[in-house]
């Protein structure tokens, strides 16, 4: 078996990058969906074909380093190489852009592969000589033939259907289900392809109980120069990932296995690891020390923090400790190390973006399928209670913002942005015997609006912080900002907006991708309807006091 794989839109996804850079160039509006095809179609519709061509040159050239690999593609390559299956990358790509800067696109593609660890023997071990970038479509087909590929994976059905294409197994990579009518074999994710090629002996749901998992952990420990014996103990974690205590003769470590999904391209591992690396490097010690990571299996290895979950009622001292931590995290925010951090997962830098973020979450709930009694109950709650309350809040927020003479689309200056843990609160904290609080879970962290951090801190439903602490927290946590009063005013106005956001998050159980993430994180099976019923009850109770937050604003 010899497998050939296309490069663009098969190994690497550009959707978010096309949207981001088109926004930078002021070619599209923020509301346009974040897909390459939507960006392309819109730019062409306004008769700017040359701008589209230039944009492609930028993204496939100098900015390709900011693109992302599809989830599990690295794992697919590594498993093939470990099993001795020949695998090649064969792509059709011009050497230089038709318009714009003269950047070698072949070299840029190889730089992406190198940066992602494809050529690193300790990461994947794919040989650079096995990556071919051909100047024409005909050359690409001829290369596939010469290599003797028995299978070829590509995202373009028209290419796989070419008359001159070899008579081999053709697999259409279609993560967005754009080509459901095609008669070709289809795969919607690289996880699907791992199953199709039977590359793993272990079913995905049994992986964390298998010897394959233990082998992967052993390899990561050895990479971290921890070569003695080890023991793995599952821990109760969050709702998104699996966490384990790794006991070794060199001490104890925390292993975090991050959820990935073909419909959710956020790189939680790199976001958390890079933010912790930045914070630890500048002396913060009430956090996990990042030790090592495995980007193929999406593992992060961290120092182990002893402590208990916060159970007691939140008091002023604890709120002050959280504020102090946030200030410490931002002491070095103007350094190059801080500037290299990504934006937070749902970063918002204008009132418009805050409202758009929550509007999108509310609208997502419109996708709940009415295929069960509990789902119908959720649909009724969303339509009869949540949406009317959201409309009321949105109208009030816009009224209050206008009174403060703040423009809805005003983007905050970089000096007013902060390094945010995101999802910051006592639900993501441990307290030791001496009362010292450590803060955890920065996988959504990065650059953000301080008002959003404040809102999430007070609106997070698991361990709520009373609004009595709002003023003191803002005074201490935002003290380093030039205009801390404006940030606090915005946070106060946006509080009810974020109450709606968290109500939507509680209902994530009813959405397919989010439900899959929950199932990934659970240690044992639970009845899905019971989980949904529990979450719906929480959402109903959670918004009962929402008027307090609206009145405060």
CATH number at residue 286: 3.30.200.20
| One domain for residues 90 and 215 | no
Q: Does 388 share its domain with 521?
A: yes
Chain position carrying tokens 């996708």: 367
Question: And the tokens for 532?
Answer: 């949904």
**Domain termination residue (choose one: 196, 220, 239):** 196
In a shared domain, residues 528 and 387: yes
Domain boundary among 251, 283, 303: 303
Residues 350 and 457 in one domain: yes
Q: In angstroms, rounded to a whole number, what is the distance separating the alpha carbons of residues 323 and 325?
A: 5
Supply the range of the domain harboring residue 88: 2-196
Size of the chain in residues: 553
CB 109 within 8 A of CB 7: yes
The CATH number of the domain where 138 resides is what?
3.40.50.1000
| pLDDT at residue 517 is higher than 60 | no
The predicted structure's pLDDT at residue 523: 46
φ, ψ (nearest 5 deg) of residue 501? -60, -45
Residues 460 and 314 reside in one and the same domain: yes
| CA distances to 245, 299, 345 from 420, in Å | 26, 22, 10
CA nearest neighbour of 54 among 39, 69, 68, 65? 39
What residues have CB less than 8 Å from 257, skipping those under 6 apart? 208, 241, 242, 243, 244, 297, 298, 299
Q: Which of 148, 170, 196 is the last residue of a domain?
A: 196
Q: What is the pTM of this model?
A: 0.84
Question: Does residue 169 carry a pLDDT above 80?
Answer: yes
Asked if residue 254 and residue 319 are part of one domain, the reply reads no
The long-range contacts involving 439-442, CB below 8 angstroms and separated by at least 24 positions, are 439/286, 439/287, 439/322, 439/325, 440/287, 440/288, 440/305, 441/238, 441/272, 442/271, 442/272, 442/275, 442/276, 442/287
- Shared domain for 395 and 296, answered yes or no, is no
Q: Are residues 144 and 272 in the same domain?
A: no
Strands 429-431 and 308-309, how do they pair? antiparallel
Pairing relationship of beta strands 185-187 and 169-173 according to DSSP bridges:
parallel
Banded model confidence at residue 513, pLDDT cuts 50, 70, 90: low
Whether residue 254 sits in one domain with residue 133: no
Domain shared by 155 and 17, yes or no: yes
28-82 pLDDT, tens digit per residue, is 987 788 888 899 999 999 999 999 999 999 999 999 999 999 999 999 999 999 9
Pair (182, 278) in one structural domain: no
Count of the separate structural domains present in the chain: 3
Rounded to whole angstroms, the Cα distance separating 190 from 363 reads 29
**Residue 187 CB-density burial (10 A; 0-12 exposed, 13-18 middle, 19+ buried):** buried
Residue-wise pLDDT for 227-269, tens only, equals 878 999 999 865 668 999 999 988 999 999 998 876 677 789 9
Q: What is the CATH number of the domain that holds 443?
A: 3.90.1200.10
Tokens 């973020």 -> residue = 357
Residues 260 and 131 in one domain: no
Confidence of residue 203 (pLDDT cuts 50, 70, 90): confident
């Amino acid at each position: 078996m010899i497998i050939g794989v296309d490069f663009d839109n098969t190994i690497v996804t550009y959707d978010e990058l096309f949207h981001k850079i088109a926004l930078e160039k002021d070619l599209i509006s923020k509301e346009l969906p974040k897909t390459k095809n939507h960006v392309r179609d819109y730019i062409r519709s306004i008769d700017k074909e040359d701008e589209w061509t230039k944009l492609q040159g930028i993204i496939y050239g100098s900015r390709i380093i900011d693109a992302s690999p599809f989830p599990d593609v690295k794992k697919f390559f590594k498993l093939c190489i470990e099993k001795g299956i020949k695998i090649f990358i064969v792509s059709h790509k011009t050497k230089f852009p038709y318009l714009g800067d003269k950047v070698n696109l072949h070299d840029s593609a190889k730089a992406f592969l190198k940066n992602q660890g494809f050529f690193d023997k300790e990461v994947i071990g794919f040989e650079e000589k096995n990556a071919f970038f051909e100047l024409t479509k005909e050359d690409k087909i001829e290369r596939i033939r010469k290599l003797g590929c028995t299978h070829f994976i590509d995202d373009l059905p028209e290419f796989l259907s070419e008359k001159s294409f070899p008579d081999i197994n053709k697999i259409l990579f279609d993560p967005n289900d754009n080509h459901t009518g095609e008669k070709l074999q289809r795969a919607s994710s690289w996880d699907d392809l791992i199953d199709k090629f039977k590359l793993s002996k272990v079913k995905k749901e049994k992986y964390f109980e298998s010897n394959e998992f233990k082998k992967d952990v052993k390899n990561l420990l050895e990479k971290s120069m921890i070569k003695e014996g080890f023991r793995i103990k599952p821990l109760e974690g969050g709702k998104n990932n699996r966490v384990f205590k790794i006991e070794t003769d060199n001490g104890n470590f925390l292993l975090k296995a991050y959820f990935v999904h073909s419909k959710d391209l956020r790189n939680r591992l790199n976001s958390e690891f890079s933010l912790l690396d930045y914070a630890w490097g500048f002396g913060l010690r009430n956090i996990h020390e990042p030790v090592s990571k495995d980007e193929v299996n999406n593992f992060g290895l961290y120092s182990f923090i002893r402590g208990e979950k916060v159970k007691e009622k939140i008091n002023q001292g604890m709120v002050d400790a959280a504020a102090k931590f946030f200030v410490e995290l931002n002491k070095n925010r103007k350094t190059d190390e801080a500037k290299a951090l990504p934006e937070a997962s749902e970063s918002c830098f204008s009132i418009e973006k805050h409202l758009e973020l929550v509007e999108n979450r509310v609208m997502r709930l419109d996708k709940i399928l009415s295929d069960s009694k509990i789902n119908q109950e959720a649909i009724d709650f969303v339509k009869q209670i949540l949406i009317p309350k959201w409309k009321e809040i949105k109208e009030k927020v816009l009224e209050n913002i206008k009174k403060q003479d703040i423009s809805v689309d005003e983007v905050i200056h970089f000096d007013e942005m902060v390094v945010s843990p995101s999802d910051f609160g006592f639900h993501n904290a441990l307290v030791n015997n001496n009362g010292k609080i450590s803060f955890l879970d920065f996988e959504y962290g990065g650059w953000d609006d301080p008002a959003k951090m404040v809102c999430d801190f007070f609106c997070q439903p698991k361990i709520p912080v009373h609004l009595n602490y709002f003023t003191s927290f803002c005074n201490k946590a935002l003290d380093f900002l030039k205009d801390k009063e404006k940030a606090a005013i915005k946070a106060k106005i946006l509080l009810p907006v974020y109450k709606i956001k968290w109500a939507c998050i509680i209902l994530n159980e009813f959405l397919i991708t989010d439900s899959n993430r929950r199932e990934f994180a659970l240690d044992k099976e639970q009845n899905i309807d019971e989980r949904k019923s529990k979450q719906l009850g929480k959402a109903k109770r959670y918004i009962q006091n929402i008027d307090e937050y609206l009145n405060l604003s």
